[in-house]
Amino acid sequence: MSADPTDVSPAAPSDTATDADDWGAVEDLPAHAGDRVTLKGWCYNKRGSGGIYFLMLRDGTGIVQCIIKEDAVDGPSWKAAGDANQEDAFVVEGTVSEDDRAPGGVEVQAERVERVSAVEEQYPITPKEHGPAFLQEHRHLWLRSKRQWAAMRVRNRIQQAIHGFFQERGFIQCDAPILTGNAVEGTSTLFELDYFEDETAYLTQSGQLYGEAMAMAHGKIYTYGPTFRAEKSSTRRHLTEFWMIEPEMAYFDFEMNVE
């Protein structure tokens, strides 16, 4: 068994229920010490010694250690824990207990373990260094690693802040099309594609032209979405795809823009 060595703190708690009859969330467990919970997730790691297994369960909100003792569970539960492989899908029922040594300060003393789905192949991403090509080929699995998980959470918070900033100031979000019939920033960096019969379309370089038109209808607007540039240089400063924020405001002069 293997696990991503990168350590990431859990996200802020949500209001997910944690009764045994409901689907609980790992991120909520610190507030439910002593309660019986049901968790649904995937095996992130497993180790065992004698009559005990330590199953690291990942559910998308965080990772928790489940303690599975042979004398505390039935036969099928013990077998399910023993057969666990990384990314097998599990349902675990047990009681939350506090432990300062555990990730998040809590762990689950398991009472029932069910392996609802088993992987067919060994998980290919290991703690050793992998090249970009290998990780991109296994992108759907790479997204489950702690580093990628954290990156998406950071991206989500940034997008929340962007929308909050403009919405609090009276801006309207407007969506510009991704396929356009004309260039915006210059014809040398256009991604061109065939569009139905003898027509040509381009991946958008900017939502500016649409934004300017919408500002005449709404006063203050912003567009936020993917833009594309067929850059000839292969560097970190020359991106073929990126997300751009473009506000447009009617009757705003330079000083008003600065403010």
Q: List, as one string, the DSSP characters of 52-90.
A: EEEEEEE-SS-EEEEEEEGGGS-HHHHHHHHT--TT-EE
* Res 55: pLDDT: 97
**Two tokens, residue 157:** 């918070």
> Model confidence at 184, in pLDDT bands (50, 70, 90)?
confident
**Two tokens, residue 176:** 């510009």
- Which strands make up the sheet holding 241-249, listed edge to edge? 172-173, 220-228, 241-249
- Tens of pLDDT, residue by residue over 57-85, are 999 999 999 999 999 999 999 999 999 99
**Two tokens, residue 41:** 């997730």
- Tens of pLDDT, residue by residue over 193-222, are 999 888 899 999 999 999 999 999 999 999
Q: Where are the domains of the chain?
A: 26-117, 169-258
Longest dimension (CA), the chain: 75
Query: In whole angstroms, what is the distance from residue 255 CA to residue 245 CA?
Result: 20
What H or E segment, with its residue span, contains residue 223?
strand 220-228
* Res 23: pLDDT: 65
Lowest-confidence segment of 16-20, 102-106, 201-205 by average pLDDT:
16-20
Q: Which CATH architecture has domain 26-117?
A: Beta Barrel (2.40)
Query: In whole angstroms, what is the distance from residue 28 CA to residue 42 CA?
Result: 17
> Model confidence at 235, in pLDDT bands (50, 70, 90)?
confident
Assess whether the region 26-117 and the region 169-258 belong to the same CATH fold. no
Q: What CATH number should be reported for the domain whose range is 169-258?
A: 3.30.930.10
